[in-house]
């Protein structure tokens, strides 16, 4: 077999074409890896919002909090269902909330966007201990005050510490705190007092959802049966983790499909570029190939050497693209989640699986792009090549 160093030396000698082809492949891998990281980031953000030992109750037939309406009189019945965990005072661990979407003006861009506004009770941090106020203070119950998630602050006009925005027309609300939720989707929301939101949007006597903490994740079926068997309520229960997994499906599929389509078109161009580069290398190295054949190297050895050269070129470019894509972890883009019709800020998640797939994809591009030029090199006649 032809030594591996031969393929490395060949790439080093043709610096200009090697850099140009590797750059094209790096761009393809960057786009592919970035789209996969964003898809993984969407799923991670949503997954962090739900816990397996939490359950959420919605109106039967609703797939999101925005379209769910539950009579407030049903809340005590839900909290009294079997399987609900009690706190140290013997009170059921649960919370009822109202979710609406408000149209607000984006900063740094023209137009408006939808923002999720959650009406919470004064027990919200008792149920969600992962939520911490990192600047300012929590809103006082019954006041026109709000706190905002760390990821959405500063993106919307008036949605930052010590600023104000209109909850409804002529109903200003002052932001007194910024909270962190460990990267969960809540960080893209605005939280206000539940009664304040009721008054502003005319939602008296109803809530959008009820969340409960279960004694353990295994108690979910018992809890669901207790809620759904009472047909008078017309409610459905699901694990909170399952709920957020479904909420992420639409956005994840859209981002994944868009990234795949763009990457495929870019990949075709990169493979054509790699093929042209390898064909040019074969044409310029006829004597060299003939000499290898004359020295006794088989067609298979020549084929493998040129294929290895193409794959090596692609992997080097892929590694550069994959490494560059990890910088996207510091970027936090936003998009409208089709499940909630509100803006959510996500992060790119550079998982080892994504980076490994990107390198394999790059190697595949090199293999396909170098196959025909390598076959041509392997079929070169040694006598004709040396004479030429």
How many angstroms from the chain centroid is the CA of residue 294? 55
**If we measure between CA atoms, which residue out of 72, 43, 1 comes closest to residue 244?**
43
Q: Where among 233, 261, 289 does a domain terminate?
A: 233
Residues 205 and 325 in one domain: no
Residues 199 and 260 in one domain: no
Residues 202 and 66 in one domain: yes
Give how many domains the chain has, as a whole number. 2
Least confident of 92-106, 182-196, 212-226, 304-318: 304-318
Residues 225 and 293 in one domain: no
pTM for this one?
0.77
Residues 305 and 370 in one domain: yes
Region 5-17: what's the mean pLDDT? 74
DSSP letter for 160, please: S
Residue 162 neighbours by CB under 8 Å, 6+ apart: 136, 174, 175, 176
Q: Where among 194, 211, 233 does a domain terminate?
A: 233
Residues 253 and 366 in one domain: yes
What average pLDDT is seen over the chain?
Answer: 85
How do residues 55-72 score in pLDDT, each as one tens digit? 999 999 888 898 899 999
Q: Where among 233, 265, 290 does a domain terminate?
A: 233
Residues 224 and 251 in one domain: no
How do residues 198-246 score in pLDDT, each as one tens digit? 988 888 999 999 999 999 999 999 999 999 988 888 999 999 988 888 8
- Is 55 within a domain? no
Q: Which of the four pLDDT bands, split at 50, 70 and 90, describes residue 168?
A: confident
Residues 41 and 101 in one domain: no
Is the Cβ–Cβ distance between 208 and 168 less than 8 Å? Answer: no
Q: How is residue 259 written in tokens?
A: 């990234």
Residues 270 and 210 in one domain: no
Q: Which of the four pLDDT bands, split at 50, 70 and 90, describes residue 330?
A: confident
- Is 242 within a domain? no
Q: 147-165 burial, b if ≥16 CB within 10 A, otherwise e? A: bbbbbbbebbebbbeebeb
- Is 52 within a domain? no
Residues 364 and 265 in one domain: yes
- Domain that residue 103 falls in: 61-233
Residue 352 in this model has a pLDDT that exceeds 60: yes
- Is 30 within a domain? yes
């Amino acid at each position: 077999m032809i030594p591996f160093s031969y393929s490395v030396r060949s790439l080093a000698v043709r610096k200009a074409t090697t850099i140009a082809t590797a750059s094209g492949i790096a761009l393809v891998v960057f786009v592919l890896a970035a789209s996969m990281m964003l898809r993984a980031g969407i799923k991670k953000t949503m997954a962090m919002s739900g816990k397996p030992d939490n359950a959420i109750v919605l109106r039967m037939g609703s797939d999101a909090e925005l379209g769910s309406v539950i009579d407030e009189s049903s809340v005590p019945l839900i909290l009294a269902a079997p399987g609900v965990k009690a706190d140290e005072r013997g009170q059921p661990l649960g919370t009822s909330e109202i979710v609406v979407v408000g149209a607000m003006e984006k900063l740094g861009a023209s137009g408006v966007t939808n923002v999720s506004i959650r009406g919470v009770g004064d027990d919200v941090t008792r149920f969600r201990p992962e939520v911490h106020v990192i600047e300012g203070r929590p809103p006082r119950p019954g006041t026109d005050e709000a706190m905002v998630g760390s990821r959405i602050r500063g993106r919307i006009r008036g949605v930052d510490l010590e600023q104000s925005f209109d909850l409804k027309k002529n109903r200003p609300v002052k932001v007194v705190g910024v909270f962190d939720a460990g990267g969960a989707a809540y960080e893209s929301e605005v939280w206000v007092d539940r009664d304040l939101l009721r008054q502003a949007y005319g939602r008296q006597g109803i809530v959008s959802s009820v969340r409960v903490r279960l004694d353990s994740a295994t108690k979910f079926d018992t809890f669901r049966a207790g809620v759904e068997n009472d047909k008078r309520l017309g409610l459905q229960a699901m694990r909170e983790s399952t709920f957020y997994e479904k909420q992420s499906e639409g956005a994840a599929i859209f981002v994944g499909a868009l990234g795949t389509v763009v990457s495929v078109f870019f990949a075709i161009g990169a493979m054509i570029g790699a093929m042209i580069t390898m064909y040019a290398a074969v044409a310029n190295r006829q004597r060299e190939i003939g000499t290898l054949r004359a020295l006794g190297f088989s067609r298979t050895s020549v084929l493998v050497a040129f294929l290895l050269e193409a794959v090596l070129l692609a992997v080097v470019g892929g590694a550069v693209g994959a490494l560059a894509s990890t910088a996207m972890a510091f970027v936090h883009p936003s998009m409208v989640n089709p499940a909630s019709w509100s803006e959510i800020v996500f992060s790119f998640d550079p998982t080892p699986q994504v980076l490994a797939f990107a390198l394999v994809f790059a190697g595949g591009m090199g293999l396909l792009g170098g196959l025909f030029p390598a076959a041509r090199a392997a079929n070169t006649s040694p006598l004709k090549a040396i004479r030429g």
